[in-house]
Homo-oligomer: A and B are copies of this chain.
Amino acid sequence: MNFVGSHILSVSQFDRDAVEQIFRVADRMAPYALKQRVTRVLEGAILGNMFFEPSTRTRVSFGCAFNLLGGEVRETTEIKASAIAKGESFYDTARVLSGYSDVIVMRHEREGSVAEFSEASRVPVLNGGDGANEHPSQALLDLYTIRKEMEAQGKDMEHLRIALIGDLKNGRAVHSLCKLLTLYSDVHFTLVSPTELRLPGDYIEQMRSAGHKVVETDQLLSSIAHADILYVTRTQEERFSDAAEAEKYKGLFRLNQSIYTEFCEPNTVIMHPLPRDSRAEASELDNDMNENPNLAIFRQTDNGVIIRMALFALILDIVDQVDQHAREVNWFTAKRF
């Protein structure tokens, strides 16, 4: 896949080669994200970080990724300041904003909005999340984390055993990750959810028709015994029309250290797309696991910066220039882990 100048809207754009290409570039970005080196390759370039739906984590992650490459960031953090409120079409907004920057990241609550925006944009657009639809950089960072965690254990991605746990119906992170994993060989999926929050059937069909093994269940304890990865998710209450309905599912599946010790294989990796809901009534992933070295949730967000750097580098065609504009870090850097 030729990334140069292209929009990144959906994980469906990627075949396995494209994914591997992104991950090879990501590996080269890691020393910069980890503050071992500084590069100024994009000095003078501007990212338009257009978040028409509030976000701290994803917005700051994209912004930092661009800064780490040496570029500047201009930002919008809400929709009420925008001309859209005065009747402006997405077409106009896109034509105008794309005259201001070299690349745009966009988040908007409406499904399909980012794709519509990209059609009128004069510069490449990355989807930073369009409602319940897509959030491709999240799926890529999840998969990249799985690959690195497996590598660290001397395993590869073939025959991966993954249990996905929680609200599998509404979580776009889960949906996109399933799509990407489908590109690999012989994955064993265990889908643990309340009956009402099962993964939509078309995903399961795709996974099965690609030769993967899929088991659906509403039993947590019996499902986590033979997995390489436990991918725990939050009940996506903001996607329920009735808030009280969402409450019913909170706290149904809780993973904590004693369950982990009793039921899981050693070194089973724990992931979560974050935020995890740490309120007492939910607590799907207990804080007593924070010191467990197999808890990979903050390695996930760290990898997010690396993946986003890789996407920018590929789209703006500066992969091979990154190291040429590099130097040592000259300030105090904290040990990250």
* A residues in contact (CB < 8 Å) with B: 4-5, 35, 38-46, 48, 54-57, 59-61, 63-64, 67-68, 70, 72-78, 80-83, 86-89, 91-92, 95-102, 122-124, 234, 237-238, 274-279, 282, 287, 290, 297-298, 301-302, 305, 315-318, 321, 329-337
Partner of A277, one of B57, B86, B124: B86
User: Is A334 a contact of B123 with CB atoms below 8 Å?
Assistant: yes
**Which of chain B's residues have a CB closer than 8 A to the CB of A72?**
67, 72-73
**Which of chain B's residues have a CB closer than 8 A to the CB of A122?**
334-337
User: Is A92 a contact of B278 with CB atoms below 8 Å?
Assistant: yes
**Which of chain B's residues have a CB closer than 8 A to the CB of A87?**
234, 275-279, 282
User: Is B124 a contact of A334 with CB atoms below 8 Å?
Assistant: yes
User: Is B95 a contact of A298 with CB atoms below 8 Å?
Assistant: yes
Q: How far apart sit A41 and B100, CA to CA, in the bound complex (Å)?
A: 19
Partner of A331, one of B45, B54, B55, B287: B45
Q: How far apart sit A277 and B40, CA to CA, in the bound complex (Å)?
A: 41
Task: Kindly list 14 other residue pairs between chains A and B, CB separation below 8 angstroms, not including A60-B97, A61-B100.
Answer: A38-B44, A54-B80, A56-B81, A56-B83, A57-B83, A59-B81, A72-B73, A83-B275, A88-B277, A89-B276, A91-B290, A92-B297, A316-B332, A317-B332
**A332 and B5 in contact (CB under 8 A), knowing A68-B46, A74-B73, A76-B60?**
yes
Q: How far apart sit A237 and B123, CA to CA, in the bound complex (Å)?
A: 32
User: Is A81 a contact of B54 with CB atoms below 8 Å?
Assistant: yes
**Which of chain B's residues have a CB closer than 8 A to the CB of A35?**
102
**Which of chain B's residues have a CB closer than 8 A to the CB of A64?**
46, 74, 100-101
**Which of chain B's residues have a CB closer than 8 A to the CB of A305?**
99-100
